[in-house]
Structure 1
């Protein structure tokens, strides 16, 4: 089988846009030229990869498989070019806590020592991180909590403890620690519905108990703490975020008794041996910095 890198890139662009014309434009080709290349590619593979429809295209089952492998081939070519040029680009997917609390400091030090390196950091839910790494869209993923059996390599590098944050004069402070269910007697401030933490907490309380306690939902831990400080409610967040905001806001922390409140942070990769040198360097940097991550 003889495959052309231009054709692989074209196929990926068409698959990701769901439209031949848009994919052709991303590949700097005319629609007729792109269509001819895809037909030749399917003939070379010996199987249909796309189904043409009125509103665009969709992948066949073989097309889904081909897409995964094409992404990996193209990424390995990128790795080779980066290694030869002494530079590189890392595609990193991570959950909310990692993006806002952990990675800024870690990446700042890492990039300061490597001026030729660029990082594409995207905030994603845990399921999206897993899918992105599995499909080769992301080189590395960072998540908190248990990771389902996915065939990915999982490396734990630090801990993520959840605490209850309250106004300084809140009655919940009378207890040294609480279970999440006990705290639901009070109004809660939470993150938006798409956040990993919101989904996680909903799963810890049966019959929608956590969802019913939510009085307001916001987009960041800082906004949560401002609402809590103002007396709108109480909220659950990672201790690293709570400590940072408690230093400048009139809020306090109370421990959660629940066993799930202590979670592991993990790095996800498809195959560490297949990573570029710069991706391996970032992974090693994360692991080395894991023990120094603020835990309160």
Structure 2
């Protein structure tokens, strides 16, 4: 019997991206953590799954261009709201000689702030529990705001009553929160629903003061998270899955150009591999391979070629 392809919904924000070159000139594109993951996930799965993006945009030309690009990448737009008179957020990437990044943001009035609270959100919220996979990040939690987060928790409660798998990337950005306690409360409200946690070690330590990776694993064992992946940049990643532990070395890269979306692309390839039947070690290798290609090109989204 041929089963229908899995349906995946990724929730978050896409922004107008400006890349500042050494001569001060700017290159304009688009990016955002869950959007980056959605694009790379769609590419990795190659039509073997339905990948939809969940966000709110304006009715401007930048929002039009975003939707066109997503459609070309095979991403479904049924859950993208277009709010009249609103605009997307904007950020600028400044990259040093070692490929490390500094971000400048303009996002306080972005349309995504009302993604789950606008009147047009009702059918979106109703549709989400029927997906096979729901994916969101710590940045998603921040930009949704308190009311939006409450709506998200309601969705997760309904989703977990069925067979939906919930995937969470921690992506903690302190500047998006009023304080660390607000962020901790928001994370703790969703973590009990998470089936797969894709974590950056530095973010976990900054948010929860964990001493090391083992402390992170112990905390998630207490929560009951079945699968936990700790990303450690150029170092090996660590995986705990259903009582087994794995350490998978990263791919060596001679020249790092831009580390933007390294973690997002890793998460996409890891999830794609797991959805395709790969074990955690195979999935981690797939994540490292894709991330190693992404960091050799400027910008969040490398050319498909």
Relative to the length of structure 2, the TM-score reads 0.24
Which structure has the larger Rg? 1
Higher helix share: 1
Which protein has greater RCO, CA pairs closer than 8 Å, 6+ apart? Answer: 1
